[in-house]
Amino acid sequence: DERARLALVRTPSGVFLPGGGIEGAESVELAIRRESLEECGLFVRVLDWQAHSIQFVLSVTEDREFEKHCSFREAALEPGRGQSSEADHALFWGTAREARGLLAHGSQRWAVERWCEHAGVAQTE
């Protein structure tokens, strides 16, 4: 947001950056816009900064590990609010420092650090 805080999503599984899987032939940009609306009720415009990572995660429900290919993008808020369709997802805003302490996935903590370097945001904020 305008104060360099990050949109974070609290779910029953932990705290995450908004996002999720790409559906079908959907582009990364479309997936970001769709997931931001579904999870947070936010309309966003995808900007140029991006980072990519691979993380291995264990799915407890499926009892197997997955290789997650992650694409992170900076996005700006667009005017208005939509309706979130994820009843168990709660949007809240946090500083980079708060995000790094709360995010469940290491790849997301890494992406926040890279974004801070790009945006000139002190990681202690």
The pLDDT tens digits for 12-59 are 989 999 998 899 999 999 999 999 999 999 999 999 999 999 999 888
Tokens read off for 76: 């700006």
* Cα R_g (the chain), whole angstroms: 14
User: Above pLDDT 90, what percent of the chain?
Assistant: 75
Tokens read off for 27: 């582009």
Q: Return the closest-CA partner of residue 72 out of 28, 104, 35.
A: 28
Long-range contacts of the stretch 20-24 (C-beta < 8 A, 24+)? none
Tokens read off for 35: 């997931």
Global pTM reads 0.88
> Given this model, what pLDDT does residue 124 score?
65
